[in-house]
Chain A
Amino acid sequence: MSMFIKTGKPSETREPEPVSETKVMESKGGQQQGAAGPGSQKGAPSIIGPRLTITGNLESDGEIQIDGTVKGDIRGKSVTVGESATVDGSVDADSVRVSGAIEGKIEAKSVAIMRTGRVIGDVIHESLEVEAGAYLDGHCRRTDARGESKTTALTSLAGGSQKHGPSTDAPKIGSAQAKPASE
């Protein structure tokens, strides 16, 4: 009952200042990290609870904890896939920690697959940790700077398809992804 009648502050104050956060969210243009220093990431993580199922793409500029089911791609800063979680889609983040199941590509600076984790798909990483007992089925590829491998892939690709236009300039990652699709 209490969850529906608000007398002042909500009983469960996971996020310290909801109102100011809205502002952060609205002005998230390019300065997501501006106000909140590293570590003091806007309050608690967003939790996708064990009884939640999400179909579609999920985006966050903060921390996400997934304990439920996600069918779709996830983008975030820090993604934790809990033991009870199932992800059917790719995960793109700065750091990913997997204790549950992921079927799809993982792309992150730091990837940790815990012993209860189950990953079917490629892992693109700068630093990879796999605990004994983890299930991992896929290619692991290391990149020094994130996205570099994509860019090189594109440069060679662009070289092979000169007829499409002058694309000798180092292209952006976004266009790198768009290119193969058009061919």
Chain B
Amino acid sequence: MILGRNATDEHELAGEPASIFGASLTLVGELWANGDVRIQGRVDGVVTADRVVLEPEGRIEGSVVAREVHIDGRLIGQVFAPTVSIGPTAAVSGTVFYNKLFVSPDAVIDGRMPWRPMHYFEGRLRV
């Protein structure tokens, strides 16, 4: 329970399947998800969602704003999320603003990871 979700969120997750941004997709621009999104393709721009999962084959160049972010792929840019977890296949360059953080020992990290208090995120998150 790294990410400490509560029961309602679990239910929400079960009821609403995550949107999948598939491996064959490339987006230059902004992506807003009023829910969860799994990114397998490539985004150059901003991703805003409740929860973002960047899959091993996914790549984001830009920024990610979410309540929770899990990174297994390649991220270049900034992350603003109270809860961030970085998996073993991840490669992150840039800045990760977090309140709770998990980093796998195998992850490749190049950049800064400044801690921020919860209220720092409240104004930035829609949800």
Contact = CB atoms under 8 A, between A and B. Distances in A.
Interface in B1-47: 1-3, 5, 10, 13, 16-38, 40-42, 45
Interface string A30-72: 0000000000001111111111111111111111100010001
Contacts of B18: 3, 12, 49
Contacts of A68: 19
Contact of B68 (A4, A56, A72): A4
A52 B17 CA distance: 12
A62 B24 CA distance: 6
Interface residues of B, number: 43
A4 B70 contact: yes
B32 A4 contact: no
Contacts, number: 134
A54 B1 CA distance: 31
Interface stretch (A19-27, A93-101, A122-130, A137-145): A19-27
A51 B34 contact: yes
A32 B43 CA distance: 20
A59 B22 CA distance: 11
A1 B3 contact: yes
A46 B23 contact: yes
Interface residues of A, number: 40
Contacts of A56: 27-31, 45
Contact of B24 (A4, A50, A57, A60): A60
Contact of B20 (A14, A55, A62): A14
Contact of B16 (A18, A25, A51): A51
18 contacts: A4-B3, A4-B53, A4-B70, A12-B18, A15-B40, A18-B55, A46-B24, A49-B19, A49-B35, A49-B37, A51-B33, A51-B35, A52-B31, A53-B30, A54-B30, A59-B27, A60-B25, A72-B29
Interface of B: 1-3, 5, 10, 13, 16-38, 40-42, 45, 51, 53, 55-57, 68, 70, 72, 85, 87
